[in-house]
């Protein structure tokens, strides 16, 4: 389990302001985040079914955590890996400004 949920909370806040449409999907489709490392390791996540996702990104950047949340929310919409990797890639391109 992550020592602190700060990274996840901060990422949800970034999603809220950085991509409001993805935030709306997240709020509609997810009601529980499991922060244990058993599924995502130190830098990943899982869709657990229902409205639960696993996000474990203690080693990841804050933008990567946002991408994991969007990726798993995409699974909650019923899409497969290809579409959901693309969703994660899209959100990274949206929120990371170079």
Partner 1 sequence: MKFDILQKLKEILTKIKSKLRSYFVSFAAIVIFFAIFSFGVNFFSYFDPLTFCYIGIENDFLGGNQKTVKKAIVQLKRADIQSYKTLCTYVDTIVEEHCRASDPRVSGKEIGTYEPGCYIRGSKIINLIPTKEDDQFVINQRSITIRKYANFSKNFWENRQDHTPGINLRF
Q: Is 48 in the site for partner 1 (CB under 8 A)?
A: no
Chain centre distance of CA 58: 13
Q: Which of 17, 49, 78, 80 binds partner 1 (CB under 8 A)?
A: 17
Neighbour order of strands in the sheet with 32-34: 32-34, 52-56, 44-49
Q: Is 67 in the site for partner 1 (CB under 8 A)?
A: yes
Dist CA 16 CA 83 (whole Å)? 21
Rounded to the nearest whole angstrom, what is the least distance from the CB of residue 7 to partner 1 in the complex? Answer: 10
Span of 34-42, 44-52, 72-80, 86-94 interacting with partner 1 by CB under 8 A: 86-94
């Amino acid at each position: 389990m992550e020592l602190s949920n700060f990274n996840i909370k901060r990422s949800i806040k970034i999603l809220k302001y950085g991509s409001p449409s993805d935030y709306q999907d997240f709020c509609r489709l997810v009601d529980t985040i499991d922060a244990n490392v058993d599924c995502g390791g130190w830098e990943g996540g899982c869709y657990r079914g229902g409205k639960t996702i696993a996000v474990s990104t203690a080693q990841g950047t804050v933008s990567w955590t946002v991408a994991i949340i969007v990726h798993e929310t995409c699974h909650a919409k019923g899409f497969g890996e290809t579409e959901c990797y693309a969703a994660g890639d899209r959100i990274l391109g949206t929120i990371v400004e170079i």
